[in-house]
Homo-oligomer: A and B are copies of this chain.
Amino acid sequence: MGYERSCLSDHIRRELARRILDGTLRPGERLVELKIAAEFASSQTPVREALRELESMRLVEASPYKGTRVRDVGPRQTAEAYAVRGALERLAAESAAAAFRGDVRALRATARAIVAAARAGDREGYARHDLEFHRAIATASGNATLLQLWESLAFETRTPLTLTRDDLDWPAVAESHAPIVDALEAGDGALAGRLLEEHARKFIPPPRAEAGTTSRARRASGS
């Protein structure tokens, strides 16, 4: 799936994506085309293309003649993304169980690294290993379409980890990876899928204060 593009616009896109994901570029920050062009010693055109691709990667948002800025993902969007990611990983696990059978060593090592990072309070390490863990499962599904959609959620699902989230019992969350590995090793994709979906649910920030009245309809704007 990964084309090895050597264009200037791809270089710029990758670099900007890196900065957005690692926080160098803050949410809401404006991305001025000519400024970026000057930095990369290029013209405006490749920058524009890079920005447009970042837009469809959901990393930035743009409106015509107004400009482009780093997307600010609120708690609601984070919740949405985690729910979607959970559904994707559930599907992935079901297909991936076969691929892992007999060799979950790498995955188990990653799971251990997550726990270690959580205990050490190493959030950066936690985020990195966690991403690796979940990406490995998405990859092992053998479903390139799934993987691409999964990757497009990286922004929403990664940022909150980097930021402060003290309402979570990190070591406990970390330990919930091990049963997933067990299920995959046993070839029980369905179980692994359920565990993954449940795992993702833990990250959904607002516990929905509206308890009891679940019959409230939520509207959504049609296309």
Contacts and interface: CB of A to CB of B under 8 A. Distances in A.
A159 to B, nearest CB: 14
Contact of A90 (B7, B64, B87, B98): B87
A183 B56 CA distance: 34
B98 A144 contact: no
Interface of A: 1-3, 5-7, 45, 48-49, 52-53, 56-58, 63-64, 77, 80-81, 83-84, 86-88, 90-91, 95, 98-102, 135, 139-149, 151-153, 156, 187, 214-223
26 contacts: A1-B220, A1-B223, A2-B222, A5-B64, A49-B49, A49-B52, A52-B52, A80-B144, A80-B146, A84-B91, A84-B143, A84-B149, A88-B88, A95-B218, A99-B215, A99-B217, A99-B218, A99-B219, A139-B219, A140-B217, A140-B218, A142-B217, A142-B219, A143-B220, A144-B220, A147-B220
